[in-house]
């Protein structure tokens, strides 16, 4: 047996994102449930979120974001040989989303699979893509985080209905002469599996908010710090900090504890809500678009959520 050559490192060539057109404000939600704009902004930090149109599926969201990342990368569909989609809200258990995204983007017969690591999914997919490029399993990988929570949310449950939303973010990963995607740090706490659940196909999303909040604001910052250490980067050097957009107070607590002094901090949740696997690539894609994340700078991506599971890595911003 022999193994392919692979590449010395991997890098992100481009990000892309897609938000559905339908804007839902806090005032819109207050018409049908006992909540208010003031309550949502102070507890969670969200001002508005997007929900997919009827008939607009997770595959549709993924195709839009994937297409934008591909366009931004300067590559063509023919250059992609692996597609990985991270999602936990698909309408369709079988087939996976990735082969359908590949087909619709004109990518010819790539490796294609989905992963489900909830809100840590994009960072897991990024690690898989980076590893595939470095070992020679693939040359250029399209990764997508796409979620359609409107399939799974109980619109009478204000604990979840005000938080979760729809969207997709994507990236193209390719080879690099030097490492521009750092080593992943990952882990899980399966003892807390019951804390965030969609139990079966007829269920709604449920979460124990305070337990998640306590875990996220205490257990995670040492791990995020370790992701920096493994990459040989001091958190104070980071140009961007992009944690999963779960709750603005969690984001601020993590940033405070990590002491990311000069980093632009992703607060995309304000305009996007919590979009699980989509939240990190969407946030960074939009920060880059607005000129808040400098090309060539360093960003820490850190996802965490249902499982409970988490993963993160430092990358060079494309």
Partner 1 sequence: MAMTEQEILEGLGKIINEITGIPASEVTPEKSFVDDLDIDSLSMVEIAVAAQDEFNVEIPDDQLKNLKTVKDVVNFIQA
**Which residues contact partner 1 by CB under 8 A?**
42-43, 209-211, 213-214, 217-218, 249, 253
Where do we find the tokens 């979120």?
Answer: 49
Question: How far apart, in whole angstroms, are the C-alpha atoms of residue 112 and residue 242?
Answer: 26
Q: Residue 215 CB, nearest distance to partner 1 (Å)?
A: 10
Q: How many angstroms separate the CA atoms of 4 and 65, rounded? A: 31
> Looking at beta carbons only, is 214 or 262 nearer to partner 1?
214
What is the radius of gyration, based on Cα positions, of the chain? 18
Out of 88, 119, 123, 228, the active site residue is 119
Query: Considering the complex, what minimum distance in angstroms separates the CB of residue 169 from partner 1?
Result: 26
CB of 213 to partner 1, least distance (A): 5
CA distance 272 to 51: 9
Catalytic site residue from 88, 140, 228, 244: 244
For the bound state, the minimum distance from the C-beta of residue 60 to partner 1, rounded and expressed in Å, comes to 34
Question: Between residues 160 and 285, which has the closer beta carbon with respect to partner 1?
Answer: 160
Q: What are phi and psi of 303, to 5 degrees?
A: -110, 150
DSSP 303: E
C-alpha distances in angstroms, 24 versus 17, 109, 140, 240, 266? 18, 38, 36, 28, 21
Rounded least distance, CB 54 to partner 1, Å: 34
User: If 0-12 CB within 10 Å is exposed, 13-18 middle and 19+ buried, where does residue 218 land?
Assistant: exposed
Of residues 233 and 248, the one with the C-beta less far from partner 1:
248
For 268, the token pair is 């995309």
Q: Which pair of structure tokens corresponds to residue 283?
A: 């946030």
d(CA 147, CA 227): 26
Quick one: 175 or 305, whose CB is closer to partner 1?
305
244 belongs to the catalytic site: yes
SS3 85: strand
> Least distance to partner 1 from the beta carbon of 119, Å?
18
Nearer to partner 1 by Cβ, of 28 and 37: the residue is 37
- SS3 percent helix, strand, coil of the chain, rounded to 5, is 40, 25, 35
Q: Which is nearer to partner 1, 105 or 253 (CB)?
A: 253
DSSP-based three-state secondary structure for 101: helix
Active site residues: 119, 244, 274
């Amino acid at each position: 047996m022999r193994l392919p050559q692979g590449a010395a490192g991997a890098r992100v060539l481009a990000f892309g994102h897609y938000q559905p057109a339908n804007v839902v404000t806090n005032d819109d939600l207050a018409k049908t449930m006992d909540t208010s704009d003031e309550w949502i902004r102070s507890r969670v930090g969200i001002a508005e979120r997007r929900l997919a149109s009827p008939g607009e599926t997770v595959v549709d969201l993924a195709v839009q974001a994937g297409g934008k990342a591909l366009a931004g990368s300067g590559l063509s569909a023919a250059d992609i040989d692996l597609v990985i989609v991270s999602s936990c809200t698909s309408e369709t258990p079988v087939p996976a989303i990735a082969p359908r995204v590949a087909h619709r983007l004109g990518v010819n017969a790539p490796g294609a699979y989905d992963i489900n690591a909830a809100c840590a999914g994009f960072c897991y997919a990024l690690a898989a893509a980076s590893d595939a490029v470095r070992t020679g399993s693939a040359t250029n990988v399209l990764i997508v985080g796409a979620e359609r929570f409107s399939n799974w949310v109980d619109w009478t449950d204000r604990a979840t209905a005000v938080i979760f939303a729809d969207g997709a973010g994507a990236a193209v990963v390719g080879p690099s002469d030097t490492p521009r995607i750092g080593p992943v740090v990952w882990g899980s706490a399966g003892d807390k599996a019951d804390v965030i659940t969609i139990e079966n196909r007829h269920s709604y999303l449920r979460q124990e908010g305070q337990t998640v909040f306590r875990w996220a604001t205490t257990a995670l910052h040492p791990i995020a710090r370790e992701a920096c250490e493994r990459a040989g980067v001091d958190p104070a050097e980071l140009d961007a900090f992009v944690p999963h957009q779960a709750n603005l107070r969690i984001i601020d607590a993590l940033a405070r504890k990590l002491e990311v002094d000069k980093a632009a901090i992703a607060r995309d949740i304000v305009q996007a809500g919590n979009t699980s696997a989509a939240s990190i690539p969407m946030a960074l894609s939009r920060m880059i678009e607005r000129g808040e994340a400098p090309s060539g700078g360093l960003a820490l991506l850190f996802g965490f959520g249902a499982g409970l599971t988490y993963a993160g890595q430092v990358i060079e911003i494309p």
